Structure formats: structure tokens, C-alpha cells
């Protein structure tokens, strides 16, 4: 039985979430909290297997509560958000950065047209995330410096970077983008699995932390150096040989739309050895087969290492398939792509 703590400042929402979760025989709601301060106290006292956390709460919001939980008593946290305001969306992504695993949209009431779908997604997400082994988040300034990345031969001009990520991905994508210079000499295409309704907020949040331009991908637009293009929800994103975004209503690949595998396969066909593919933390296998295609086409391929991954599913599958030429931490990924792209500008 998975023990769940629910934190939300609305009594009605708390009761409703507890009801939805308690309906599943594998879940038991062991406590509720009215704000982030109570959530931290209840987490220390009850030691739940997982916390379902709102972000906009009095006394202590969900971001600060997440930070304190992850520093004191590491526990899987799922953020539930209505994504109704820029402030709430920003807090949601800050909570993910602080260690929350993922975000789901807050289910509407029984009369809402998407009630059944959102309720099912919440329950399934809680059950899946409860299995994730989270580790303590070190307070800022206490993390040891990572080892230097392996030397990567700059024997080609890199014209494109493609990134795929899922659970735990937003904070890693943000860390990578934050480490790149404004004059970065290649465009970056990103597929990030995230709940419907949060992609626009992700784009805005990523843009606030990097000197690069970050935007939602538009069909047919030419990609430009120093710009990050984030895939839209519900469509597959690829790239043409002449460097234009391709958005298509093709079926899900590896269970996802947008799919990292779809992106990598498109990049392999259009750019080959002039591209870098990076597969980050995430549950499942999406991206691994596509990364293999990119490596076979001569592209340079990287998987995030297990130690830094929230979930090693996607990068682990890439390693198993032999799709990853290098297995690196986020800090090492930044150093590597800066040396490849920055060092080759002007050639």
C-alpha cells in the first residue's frame, strides 16, 4: 500500500484529491495539510511514500515546502497545479527545480468534461512516482564539483543540438541552457514530456534562466543559432534538411507525442554527423531508439549519467542499446557542447 500525503490550501480540493486517490486500492491517504508549513511537518511526522502538493498556498508555498522536504526528508513529490496564472506556473517549475518529480493538472470536479481523464492521470502518476528513489537535495553551495568531462574530438562543425527529456527533465534542461553563452553557435531543439497546458509556462520559465532565446516551435520557421525551440504538446517535431521546423500530427512514438525518438530520427536524416543528440532523465524508453539512429548516422550522442538522473529509464535504455557515445552529468554536458560548438564557430 502506497501512503500519500495531500497538501492544498482549499478544504474542498483536499477532500476531493483524497477521495480520488483513496478510491484506488493501492493508495492510502495518511494525512492532509493546509499549507506548505503543515506539509513539511506532516512529512516529517508521517513519513509518507509520496506527497501530492499544490504550489500556491499561504504561510509557505509549494516551492519552499518542496525545497525543505528534499533537504530534510527526501520524499517523491507530485505537483498539482491548475496552471491558471503566470505566478503559479513559475512556482510550479521552481518546485520541479527544487526536487519535485513532475507536475499534473489539477482535476476538475465531476461535471468537468475532462474529469475522468485528469483523475486517471493523477492516480497513475502518483502510483508511478511513488516508486522513484529520490535522494537528498544538498543546500546551495554544498554540492561537490563534478569530474571533468572526457575529451571529445572537435572533428566536425556542429550545426544542431537536439535534447529529449521526461521526468526530472525541466530542471536539467534549464541547467544546461543556463550554462551556454548568448552567442551559442547552433540552434537547440527540445522535446520535454510534460502535462498538457504547461508547455507555454515551461518556455517562459526556461527563457528567464538563460541568455538564449527560448520559444515554442512554429511549423516551417527556419532555426537560428542561439535559439531554443521547444516542441508543442500533441504534435511531433522534426527538422528538414534546409533547417526548418517540421510539426506533424503523426501517431505517438514510444508512447509519446511529441517524442524524443521522433526528433532524433529526423535530426539523423537531416543533419547526420553535424548534430549532437542528448537524452536526459526520464521514465520509459522514449528517445533511445532515435538516439541510436542518430549515432548510426554519425551524430555525436550523449546520455545523462545515472547518478544525476531522477529516473535513469530513458538514458539507461540508450546506454543498453549502445546509442550513447558518451554518458555525462549535466555539468559535463554543458562543458562538452560549449567546447564543440563554441570552439567551432567561425570555421
Kindly state whether residues 102 and 230 are assigned to the same domain.
Answer: no
Q: Please report the pLDDT score of residue 343 as a whole number.
A: 40
Alpha-carbon distance of 118 to 246, in angstroms, equals 29
Start-end of H helices in the chain? 11-22, 36-46, 62-72, 86-98, 115-129, 169-178, 199-208, 260-270, 288-296, 313-321, 330-337
Task: Indicate which residue of 9, 35, 118, 193 is catalytic.
Answer: 193
Q: Please report the pLDDT score of residue 345 as a whole number.
A: 41
Rounded to two decimals, the pTM is: 0.91
Q: Is 329 part of any domain?
A: yes
Tell me the residue range of the domain where 272 lies: 160-342
Give kind and range of the element (H or E) at residue 132.
Answer: none
Task: Indicate which residue of 81, 83, 166, 329 is catalytic.
Answer: 166
Q: Is 259 part of any domain?
A: yes
Q: Is 143 part of any domain?
A: no
Q: Is 293 part of any domain?
A: yes
Kindly state whether residues 303 and 207 are assigned to the same domain.
Answer: yes
Kindly state whether residues 118 and 193 are assigned to the same domain.
Answer: no
Kindly state whether residues 213 and 293 are assigned to the same domain.
Answer: yes
Q: Please report the pLDDT score of residue 143 as a whole number.
A: 54
Kindly state whether residues 119 and 266 are assigned to the same domain.
Answer: no
- Examine the residue annotation and report whether 266 is marked as an active-site residue of this protein: no
| Integer Rg of the chain from CA | 20
Q: Please report the pLDDT score of residue 112 as a whole number.
A: 67
275, 248 in Cβ contact below 8 A? no
Q: Report the b/e string of 134-171 with b at 16+ CB within 10 A.
A: beebeeeeeeeeeeebeebeeebebbbbbbbbbbbbbb
Kindly state whether residues 101 and 199 are assigned to the same domain.
Answer: no
Q: 207 phi and psi, to 5 degrees?
A: -65, -25
Of the residues 108, 129, 150, which one is the last residue of a structural domain? Answer: 129
Kindly state whether residues 190 and 72 are assigned to the same domain.
Answer: no
Of the residues 129, 150, 180, which one is the last residue of a structural domain? Answer: 129
Kindly state whether residues 82 and 217 are assigned to the same domain.
Answer: no
Q: Is 291 part of any domain?
A: yes
Q: Is 265 part of any domain?
A: yes
Alpha-carbon distance of 83 to 165, in angstroms, equals 21
Check which CATH number belongs to the domain holding 198 and give it.
3.40.50.180
Q: Is 136 part of any domain?
A: no
- Examine the residue annotation and report whether 166 is marked as an active-site residue of this protein: yes
- Per-residue pLDDT tens listing for the chain (347 residues): 999 999 999 999 999 999 999 999 999 999 999 999 999 999 999 999 999 999 999 999 999 999 999 999 999 999 998 866 777 888 899 999 999 999 998 887 776 656 688 899 999 999 999 999 887 665 555 555 666 666 676 677 899 999 999 999 999 999 999 999 999 999 999 999 998 889 999 999 999 999 999 999 999 999 999 999 999 999 999 999 999 999 999 888 888 999 999 999 999 999 999 999 999 999 999 999 999 999 999 999 999 999 999 999 999 999 999 999 999 999 999 999 999 996 434 33
Check which CATH number belongs to the domain holding 92 and give it.
3.40.50.2300
Kindly state whether residues 180 and 77 are assigned to the same domain.
Answer: no
Domains held by the chain: number: 2
Kindly state whether residues 208 and 318 are assigned to the same domain.
Answer: yes
- Examine the residue annotation and report whether 286 is marked as an active-site residue of this protein: yes
Kindly state whether residues 226 and 313 are assigned to the same domain.
Answer: yes
Kindly state whether residues 180 and 312 are assigned to the same domain.
Answer: yes
Q: Is 17 part of any domain?
A: yes
Amino acid at each position: 500500500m502506497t501512503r500519500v500525503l495531500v497538501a492544498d490550501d482549499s478544504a474542498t480540493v483536499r477532500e476531493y484529491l483524497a477521495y480520488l486517490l483513496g478510491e484506488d486500492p493501492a493508495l492510502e491517504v495518511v494525512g492532509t495539510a493546509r499549507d506548505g508549513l503543515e506539509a513539511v511537518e506532516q512529512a516529517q511526522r508521517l513519513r509518507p511514500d509520496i506527497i501530492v502538493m499544490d504550489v500556491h498556498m499561504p504561510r509557505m508555498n509549494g516551492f519552499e515546502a518542496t525545497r525543505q522536504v528534499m533537504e530534510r526528508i527526501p520524499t517523491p513529490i507530485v505537483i498539482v497545479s491548475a496552471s491558471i496564472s503566470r505566478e503559479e506556473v513559475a512556482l510550479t517549475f521552481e518546485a520541479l527545480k527544487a526536487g519535485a518529480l513532475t507536475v499534473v493538472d489539477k482535476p476538475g470536479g465531476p461535471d468537468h468534461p475532462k474529469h475522468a481523464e485528469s483523475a486517471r492521470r493523477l492516480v497513475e502518476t502518483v502510483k508511478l512516482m511513488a516508486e522513484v528513489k529520490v535522494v537528498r537535495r544538498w543546500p546551495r553551495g554544498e554540492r561537490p564539483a563534478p569530474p571533468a568531462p572526457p575529451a571529445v574530438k572537435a572533428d566536425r562543425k556542429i550545426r544542431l543540438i537536439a535534447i529529449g527529456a521526461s521526468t526530472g527533465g525541466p530542471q536539467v534542461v534549464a541547467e544546461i541552457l543556463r550554462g551556454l553563452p548568448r552567442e551559442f553557435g547552433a540552434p537547440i531543439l527540445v522535446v520535454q514530456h510534460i502535462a498538457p497546458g504547461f508547455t507555454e509556462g515551461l518556455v517562459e520559465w526556461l527563457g528567464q534562466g538563460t541568455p538564449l532565446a527560448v520559444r515554442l516551435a512554429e511549423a516551417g520557421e527556419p532555426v537560428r543559432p542561439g535559439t531554443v525551440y521547444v516542441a508543442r504538446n500533441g504534435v511531433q517535431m522534426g527538422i528538414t534538411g534546409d533547417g526548418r521546423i517540421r510539426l506533424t500530427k503523426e501517431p505517438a512514438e514510444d508512447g509519446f507525442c511529441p517524442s524524443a525518438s521522433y526528433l532524433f530520427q529526423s535530426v539523423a536524416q537531416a543533419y547526420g554527423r553535424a548534430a549532437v543528440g542528448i537524452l536526459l532523465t526520464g521514465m520509459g524508453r522514449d528517445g533511445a531508439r532515435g538516439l541510436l539512429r542518430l549515432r548510426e548516422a554519425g551524430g555525436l550522442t550523449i546520455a545523462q549519467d545515472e547518478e544525476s538522473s531522477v529516473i535513469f529509464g530513458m538514458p539507461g535504455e540508450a546506454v543498453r542499446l549502445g546509442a550513447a557515445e558518451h554518458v555525462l552529468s549535466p555539468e559535463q554536458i554543458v562543458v562538452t557542447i560549449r567546447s564543440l560548438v563554441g570552439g567551432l564557430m567561425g570555421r
